[in-house]
Amino acid sequence: MGHWLDFIGVTVLLMNLMALSSSRIKSCVRIVAAQGALIGCIPVIKYFPCVAPVTVIFPLTNIILKGVVFPWLLLRALRAANIRKEVEPIGGYPFSLLMGVAIFVLSYWVISRVSGPGQPASVLNAAVSFATFFTGAYIIVSRMKAITQVIGYLMLENGIYLFGLVYLKEQSLLVEMSILLDIFVAVFVMGIAIFHISREFDHIDTEKLSQLKDIMATGQDL
């Protein structure tokens, strides 16, 4: 069984790298959705013979939300905002890919050093969860479009969820549900916000958004 967990871990890692090296936002959305769904499958595999509300309802909600609802919301926002490609990040996509690998190496080192809350179920998956978390953070800081930053945010959450799965003996239904609800609301709001921003300003490039300043506040700088 540990073998399967390792396979899922490596697949999640490869999805990180794919999301980092892809310039099409649509495929990024799909990759992160698939990643979320895949991580959602872990508890099902982990507790396979045992059927209880915690091991069935919660993973199912998770898989449906991350694998179906979020991509649907994001793809709708993409269509509404009429964007397809991300702007070239600093250093280009090959550099991003190498950064992804560097992040994984770093997280492996960190995981081997840190004495966490108990022994992780799989060191590889613990490292992958860290790497997913940091890759999400890296996507947020390196990409220009608001919608890609939402994708980074989702990936970051995937990392946190995987981390919980690896370290905790069992999920606390209440905590996980409240996190999921938070994320759901966040993605929902961001989907709407992106649509409105793009309708007002014809783009969702955050580089340009940061130039919006209050004339009174900045004074003669303008």
Partner 1 sequence: MMKTEIAQFALSLIISPFLFGVVNRTKAIFAGRRGAPFLQLYYDIFKLLKKSAVYSTTTTPVFIAAPIISLGAVIVALSLVPFAGYRSLVSFENDLILFIYMLALSRFFIVIAALDTGSSFEGMGASREVQFAVFAEPALFLSLVALARAAGQMSVSDIFSRSAFSLWSSYGPMVFLVLGAFFIVFLAENSRIPVDDPNTHLELTMIHEVMVLDHGGIDLAYTLYAAAIKFWLLGSLLIGVFFGPQTFGWGIDCVIFVVSMVVLACIVGIVESTFARLRLLKVPHFLIVALALSVVAVILTLR
Residues that bind partner 1 (CB under 8 A): 3, 6-7, 9-10, 13-14, 17, 21, 93-94, 97-98, 100-101, 104-105, 108, 123-124, 127
Nearer to partner 1 by Cβ, of 18 and 190: the residue is: 18
10 Å Cβ neighbour count for 141? 10
Nearer to partner 1 by Cβ, of 80 and 98: the residue is: 98
Q: How far is residue 106's CA from residue 101's CA, in Å, rounded to a whole number? A: 9
Q: Where are the alpha helices (DSSP H) in the chain?
A: 2-21, 25-46, 53-64, 70-81, 92-113, 123-142, 146-167, 173-201, 206-209, 215-218
Q: Least Å distance between CB 103 and partner 1?
A: 11
Integer CA distances (angstroms), 100 to 2, 10, 17, 136, 185, in order: 25, 13, 6, 10, 28
Nearer to partner 1 by Cβ, of 53 and 118: the residue is: 118
Collapsing DSSP to helix, strand or coil, 205 comes out as strand
Structure tokens that stand for 90 in this block: 């600093």
Q: Least Å distance between CB 6 and partner 1?
A: 5
Structure tokens that stand for 2 in this block: 């540990």
Q: Least Å distance between CB 93 and partner 1?
A: 6
Nearer to partner 1 by Cβ, of 139 and 194: the residue is: 139
Enumerate residues 6+ apart whose C-beta is below 8 A from 167.
116, 117, 118, 120, 121, 126
Q: Least Å distance between CB 104 and partner 1?
A: 6
Nearer to partner 1 by Cβ, of 65 and 131: the residue is: 131
Q: Least Å distance between CB 117 and partner 1?
A: 20
Nearer to partner 1 by Cβ, of 6 and 177: the residue is: 6
Q: Minimal CA–CA distance to 103: which of 17, 25, 11, 33?
A: 17
Q: Least Å distance between CB 127 and partner 1?
A: 8
Unique residue bearing structure tokens 């945010």: 153
